[in-house]
């Protein structure tokens, strides 16, 4: 590809809306452009990276015996009513009506559609197992789309679905997908962990998430330093603190107005929050841990409802709290966390209190004062805060008792053993060897193809730009011609470019009439793993310069045998 003909609208300045590095660089390198919240156009360079990921995913799916199909994106509501998810899925499901007033949704995932397909096709155990996948645009009306491709509303997912006749079969299908995922993320050159995970809204009995390790990840992992135990913290905490009754008892105790010890309230918060919160903030200094209800009101409402067994849960609004308590409140909701974390996350002014309650009428103000006791009261404004960092949660590595580290992770893939959750409610059955009707056993397996590109950039960048691993790089090699006036330089550049392309190596030849400085900067920004610099003086000496983008290492190569050196 000639740079002069390639559409790469790079930006000098970083747009203010971008918070994380991948979002900044994707915009600066002209790889994506925003249409509206959480919805992006993939530009030529961005699409190249996405397609590279998609192709590796496709190769490994095919290798594992899955077959590619493409399902409709618009899905009829009645299928979702059959599975029970029309009501359960909540606002992430974008619903629409056709001209006849019939209900539809945009597919956030395809269990219903594929179960409907298979129940119409499969009659006999002889037709099983089946594993079908697609690579397709999904729509989820995320409550907080952010971080560019990391959490979009419209995004590209690979989703596969397996259908088996028995447990042995589904275990084999699951393992084949687990292994394929391991190959995919290894080939993509990402540093990742497979962790055991909660199955969340999709449901099921067994699942692993594939996490790319990066500080900007939205998930907190628990990884044992002594054994192979690795989990999403949701799961780790659920194990350590299994019961809602514990929470409810703790809640009852602290929900009584009056003075309570830090430990009582913290205990409640710790248990409650570890169960209801997707994201926990752990401030680990020594053993100390604090917990935070953080995130989105609607989600938390639902989770709290489940947790407390309450019939209605309403988080107090700041206005309500001010009305009930007369206290200046900047954030309403059941909260327990380190004071530092509060400030960092919500920018709450000093003198703010927090509200905790199963419903509005029952909401309590949590007032933490410097003497380290906590009062649930309807009293006036508090005078200060205690630091809750002395709270400890009782979680030794659940597997071996060893100690846990808690890195951040970006969920790039997820494998679920669904069992009969969808096949049962949607009546997808087959006749077994004895002619007896049985319910098909399912698994589902997702990879966030567009998110992978963002996760890759989060893991591979420096002050100058992106550093792609060769497998994802839009161009594996960038050739920089130092002088477009020098016909020898241009001819050598074209020769190398054409030869590399003929070898199947994606190559960008910067043939633009630009200053060397501009070319160097943009080559670094766009992140090809290797750069070949051709200058007039070098050619006279009979050498080219090759730069490794990751290490910055430069070496001179004899022009005569550059092919060997590059390969």
What is the C-alpha to C-alpha distance for residues 13 and 15, in angstroms, rounded to an integer?
6
Nearer to Mg ion, 454 or 481 (CB): 454
Partner in contact with 412, chosen from Mg ion, ligand ATP, none, beta carbon below 5 to 8 Å by kind: ligand ATP
295: contact with ligand ATP by CB under 6 A: no
Bridge partners of residue 417, in order along the sequence? 206, 443
Q: Cα–chain-centroid distance for residue 313?
A: 28
CB of 298 to ligand ATP, least distance (A): 14
For the range 338-344, what are the long-range contacts, defined as Cβ-Cβ under 8 Å and sequence gap of 24 or more? Answer: 338/281, 338/283, 338/290, 338/292, 338/387, 338/388, 338/389, 339/368, 339/385, 339/386, 339/387, 339/388, 340/283, 341/281, 341/283, 341/290, 341/292, 342/292
State which residue has the least CB distance to ligand ATP: 448
Smallest distance from ligand ATP to CB 451, Å: 4
Please report how close the Cβ of residue 27 comes to Mg ion at its closest, in angstroms: 23
In angstroms, give the least distance from the CB of 62 to ligand ATP. Answer: 19
Q: Of 76, 200, 407, 536, which lies in the binding site for ligand ATP, with binding defined by CB under 6 A?
A: 200
Residue ranges of alpha helices (H) inside 413-503 are 421-425, 449-459, 487-502
Site for ligand ATP in 102-121 (CB under 6 A): 109
| Angle (nearest 5°) at CA 449 between 163 and 475 | 135
What tokens were used for 63? 């290798």
Choosing among ligand ATP, Mg ion, none, which partner's interface includes residue 374 (Cβ < 5 to 8 Å by kind)? Answer: none
Residue 209's beta-bridge partner residues? 195, 414
- Interface region with ligand ATP, contact rule CB under 6 A, candidates 79-87, 447-455, 516-524, 539-547: 447-455
451 near ligand ATP (CB under 6 A): yes
Q: Does 413 bind ligand ATP (CB under 6 A)?
A: yes
Query: Under the rule (CB under 5 A), what is the footprint of Mg ion?
Result: 411, 414
Q: Is 518 helix (H, G, I), strand (E, B) or coil?
A: helix
Q: Is 414 in the site for ligand ATP (CB under 6 A)?
A: yes
Q: Which does 132 bind (CB under 5 to 8 A by kind): Mg ion, ligand ATP, none?
A: none
Stretch binding ligand ATP (CB under 6 A), from 13-21, 99-107, 165-173, 411-419: 411-419
Establish if 448 lies at the interface with ligand ATP (CB under 6 A): yes
The conformation of residue 19, written as its DSSP 8-state character, comes to -
**Binding at 562: pick from ligand ATP, Mg ion, none (beta carbon under 5-8 Å per type):** none
Contact status: 198 vs ligand ATP (CB under 6 A): no
d(CA 184, CA 427): 33
What interhelical angle do 262-276 and 233-240 show, nearest 10? 130
3-state SS assignment for residue 562? helix
Q: How far apart are CB 418 and Mg ion at their closest, in Å?
A: 13
Q: Using CB under 6 A, pick the residue from 30, 129, 148, 152 that binds ligand ATP.
A: 152
Closest CA to 534 of 522, 552, 520: 520
Under DSSP, the state recorded for 474 is S
Name the minimum Å distance from CB 148 to ligand ATP. 10
536 touches, from ligand ATP, Mg ion, none (C-beta below 5 to 8 Å by class): none
Cα 479 from Cα 545, distance rounded (Å):
10
Return the beta strands (E) in 397-494 as ranges.
404-405, 408-419, 429-431, 437-439, 441-448, 461-462, 465-466, 477-481
**Residue 152 partner contact from Mg ion, ligand ATP, none using kind-dependent CB cut-offs of 5 to 8 Å:** ligand ATP
Check binding of 141 to ligand ATP (CB under 6 A). Answer: no
Nearest-approach distance from CB 150 to ligand ATP, in angstroms: 6
What is the closest distance, in whole angstroms, from the C-beta atom of residue 405 to Mg ion in the complex? 20
Closest CA to 496 of 534, 553, 441: 534
* 221 and 230 Cβ atoms separated by less than 8 Å: yes
Indicate the DSSP class of residue 358. S
- Rule CB under 6 A: choose which of 141, 353, 411, 476 binds ligand ATP: 411
Report the nearest approach of ligand ATP to the CB of residue 331 (Å): 23
516 binds ligand ATP (CB under 6 A): no
Contact by Cβ (8 Å): 132, 67: yes
76 binds ligand ATP (CB under 6 A): no
Q: Does 412 bind ligand ATP (CB under 6 A)?
A: yes
d(CA 195, CA 209): 5
Asked if the bond preceding 129 is cis, omega within 30° of 0, the reply is yes
User: Residue 58 or 151: which CB sits closer to ligand ATP?
Assistant: 151
Helices (H), 134-290: 167-187, 233-240, 244-255, 262-276
Pick from ligand ATP, Mg ion, none: which does 448 bind, CB < 5 to 8 A by kind? ligand ATP
Task: Identify which of residues 157 and 348 has a Cβ nearer to ligand ATP in the complex.
Answer: 157
Check residue 157 for interaction with ligand ATP (CB under 6 A).
Answer: yes
Using CB under 6 A, list all residues that contact ligand ATP: 109, 140, 142, 151-152, 155, 157, 200, 202, 411-414, 446, 448, 450-451
């Amino acid at each position: 590809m000639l740079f002069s003909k390639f559409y790469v609208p790079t930006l000098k300045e970083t747009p203010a809306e971008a918070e994380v590095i991948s979002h900044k660089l994707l915009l600066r390198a002209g790889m994506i452009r925003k249409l509206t919240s959480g919805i992006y156009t993939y530009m030529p360079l961005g699409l190249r990276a996405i397609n590279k990921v998609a192709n590796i995913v496709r190769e490994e799916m095919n290798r594992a015996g899955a077959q590619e199909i493409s399902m409709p994106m618009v899905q009829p509501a009645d299928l979702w009513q059959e599975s029970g998810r029309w009501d359960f899925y909540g606002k992430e499901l974008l619903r629409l009506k056709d001209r006849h007033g019939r209900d539809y949704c945009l597919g956030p995932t395809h269990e219903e559609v594929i179960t409907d397909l298979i129940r119409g096709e499969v009659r006999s155990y002889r037709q099983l197992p089946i594993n079908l996948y697609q690579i397709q645009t999904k729509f989820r009306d995320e409550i907080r789309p952010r971080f560019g491709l990391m959490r979009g509303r419209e995004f590209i997912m690979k989703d596969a679905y397996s259908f088996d006749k028995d447990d042995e079969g589904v275990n084999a299908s699951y393992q084949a997908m687990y292994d394929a995922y391991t190959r995919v993320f290894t080939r993509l050159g990402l540093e990742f962990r497979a962790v055991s995970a909660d199955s969340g809204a999709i449901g099921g009995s067994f699942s692993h998430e594939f996490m790319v390790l990066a500080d900007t990840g939205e998930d907190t992992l628990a990884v044992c330093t002594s054994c192979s135990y690795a989990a999403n913290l949701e799961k780790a905490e659920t194990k350590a603190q299994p019961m809602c009754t514990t929470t409810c008892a703790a809640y009852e105790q602290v929900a009584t107005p009056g003075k309570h010890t830090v430990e009582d309230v913290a205990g409640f918060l710790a248990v409650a929050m570890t169960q209801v919160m997707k994201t926990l903030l752990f401030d680990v200094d020594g053993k100390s841990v604090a917990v935070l209800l953080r995130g989105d009101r609607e989600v938390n409402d639902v989770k709290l409802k489940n947790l407390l067994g309450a019939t209605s849960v309403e988080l107090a609004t700041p206005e309500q709290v001010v009305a009930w308590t007369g206290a200046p409140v900047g954030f309403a909701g059941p909260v327990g966390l380190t004071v530092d974390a509060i400030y960092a996350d919500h920018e709450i002014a000093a003198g703010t209190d927090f509200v905790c309650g199963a419903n509005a009428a029952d909401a309590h103000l949590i007032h933490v004062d410097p003497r380290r006791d906590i009062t649930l009261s309807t009293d006036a404004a508090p005078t200060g805060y205690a630091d809750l960092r002395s709270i400890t949660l009782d979680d030794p590595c659940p597997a071996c008792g060893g100690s846990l580290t808690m890195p951040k992770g970006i969920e790039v893939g997820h494998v679920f053993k669904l069992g009969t959750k969808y096949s049962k409610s949607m009546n997808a059955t087959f006749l077994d060897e004895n002619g007896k009707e049985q319910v098909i056993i399912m698994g589902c397996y997702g990879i966030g193809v567009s998110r992978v590109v963002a996760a890759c950039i989060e893991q591979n960048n420096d002050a100058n730009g992106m550093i792609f691993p060769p497998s994802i790089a839009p161009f594996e090699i960038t050739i920089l011609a130092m002088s477009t006036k020098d016909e020898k330089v241009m001819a050598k550049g074209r020769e190398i470019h054409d030869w590399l392309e003929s070898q199947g190596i994606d190559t960008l030849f910067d043939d633009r009439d630009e200053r060397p400085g501009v070319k160097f900067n943009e080559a670094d920004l766009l992140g090809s793993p290797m750069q070949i610099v051709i200058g007039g003086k070098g050619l006279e000496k009979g050498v080219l310069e090759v730069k490794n983008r990751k290490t910055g290492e430069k070496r001179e190569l004899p022009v005569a045998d550059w092919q060997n050196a590059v390969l």
